[in-house]
Amino acid sequence: MSRKQQVPRVITTGSADDTGCPILHVDMDAFYASVELLDRPELAGTPVIIGAAGARGVVLSATYEARRYGVHSAMPMTRAMRLCPQATIIPPSHGKYSAVSRGVMEIFHAVTPQVEPIASDEAFLDVGGARRRLGSPARVAALIRTQVAERFGITCSVGVASSKFVAKLASRQCKPDGLLVVPADGVVEFLHPLPVGALWGVGDRTEEALLRLGIKTVGDLARVPVTTLRRELGHAAGGHLAALAWGRDEREVTPHVPDKSIGAEETFAADVDDPETIRRELLRLSEKVAARLRAGGHVGRTVSVKLRRADFTTITRSRTLREATDVAQEIYVTACELYAAADLARVRLRLVGVRMENLLRAEASVRQLTLGERESGWREAERAMDKAVARFGPGAVRPASLVRPKFDGIDL
């Protein structure tokens, strides 16, 4: 039985005391799958898996009907299909998910400016300042759930608590489509019956180590001296888990956390040793990274490539540019040079990735032309491509080298 299955689902009643509980964790329920079902309502109530089919595809999302068979995110698609062969497989539509995510985040920001996105489908909110305008935290949580359902036709689960850690556990426990308030004076009572694997920072290996010590629940962990935990798990990890076991989490909701890097990577369906194919993929990834930079109002100075061999050995190379950029062509040229410098021509690669680091806000970066240097025109061309994509959808405009030739209407 999985750790999630061990935690019972609870939904708060209207009488729960949310005094001193300004922190909300809002988590969309099976987000990608729920968005897809808006266009495929006939699949509601059936097992559905979102992900790329094939030997190397992974599960991005799954309906709760599929999860009952043990399917979960990041699982290899081949395993998911063995567990739930009757599931419907839907390829991901990232543009559609991004549009809904932006709308959901707009709902959050209409409630409070104190929003800390964790992913496209979840965020922490501090609604302490919204009490006078919108009511108690539980009331705000109910309002958010109603607005998400009415505007997008999907559901979310909300944990309400005195800290981020407990709010996140609460939202997980009331999934799907639930709302759970953990009163400030009831944190220990809520935490201690939970399996120890529910704690942040307890992965499979740490859980195995704790189970060997006879620690099965959070309450068991709380009764172990912190010196013992530090000896067994390391000083930092032991102290961290000891604090969480008593509900101590001093972290505040931090809005507008700046991106530290923006990247994209691709795992090939079969290992590739053709340099031309790899360079073409580097171009596609550079286009994607540059578009994300421009969409977020960023430029970056450091280009990094990830090259994973067939034996899973991973090599990374990076170079810092003279000027920060958001131009795909400049990123691509540097990525190709880094690939060449890695001396992996004719070496079979399983995965390639491109990432931009050392990000700056675009308005804070002014590019200086050297004497006699002329603008290349790439920046203007790529911004025109952004407008075309925004109007006509992904793939409307792309470099000629990324367009697959056709013969009598058939992709070659």
Residue 388 and residue 298 share a domain: yes
Residue 276 lies in a domain: yes
pLDDT of 256-281, one tens digit each? 766 788 999 998 888 999 999 999 99
Which range has the top average pLDDT, 47-56, 81-90, 288-297, 388-397? 81-90
Q: Identify whether residues 325 and 355 lie together within a single domain.
A: yes
Decide if 355 is inside a domain: yes
For the entire predicted model, the pTM comes to 0.69
Assigned domain for 382 exists = yes
Q: Measured in whole angstroms, how far is the alpha carbon of residue 337 from the centre of its chain?
A: 30
Question: Do 312 and 357 sit in the same domain of this protein?
Answer: yes
**364 has pLDDT over 70:** no
pLDDT of residue 295: 83
Residues 349, 270 share a domain: yes
- 357 part of a folded domain: yes
**Sign (positive/negative) of CA torsion 245, 124, 71, 266?**
negative
Catalytic residue among 36, 65, 116, 122: 122
pLDDT of residue 395: 56
Q: Is 334 in the same domain as 210?
A: no
In the numeric block, the tokens 């991106």 are attached to 259
Helix (H) or strand (E) holding 411: strand 410-411
Residues 272 and 380 in one domain: yes
Q: What is the reported pLDDT for 332?
A: 96
Is the domain of 283 the same as that of 399? Answer: yes
Give me the chain's average pLDDT, please: 85
| CATH number for 398 | 3.30.1490.100
Q: Which residues of 134-160 are buried (b: 16+ CB within 10 A; e: fewer)?
A: bebbbbbbbbbbebbeeebebbbbbbb
Residues spanned by the domain of 72: 32-94
For 205, the enclosing helix (H) or strand (E) is: helix 204-212
Q: Are residues 348 and 285 in the same domain?
A: yes
Rounded mean pLDDT, 354-365: 81
Rounded Cα–Cα distance for residues 288 and 61 (Å): 22
CA–CA separation, 362 and 350 (whole Å)? 34
pLDDT of residue 368: 47
Q: Is 121 annotated as a binding residue?
A: yes
Q: Is residue 113 in some structural domain?
A: no
CATH number for 233:
1.10.150.20
Question: Do the domain assignments include residue 42?
Answer: yes
Q: Is 126 annotated as a binding residue?
A: no
Q: Are residues 88 and 208 in the same domain?
A: no
96-112 mean pLDDT: 93
Domain count, the chain: 3
Are residues 268 and 231 located together in one domain of the fold? no
**304 & 392 share domain:** yes
CATH number for position 84 = 3.40.1170.60
Is position 281 annotated as part of the catalytic site? no
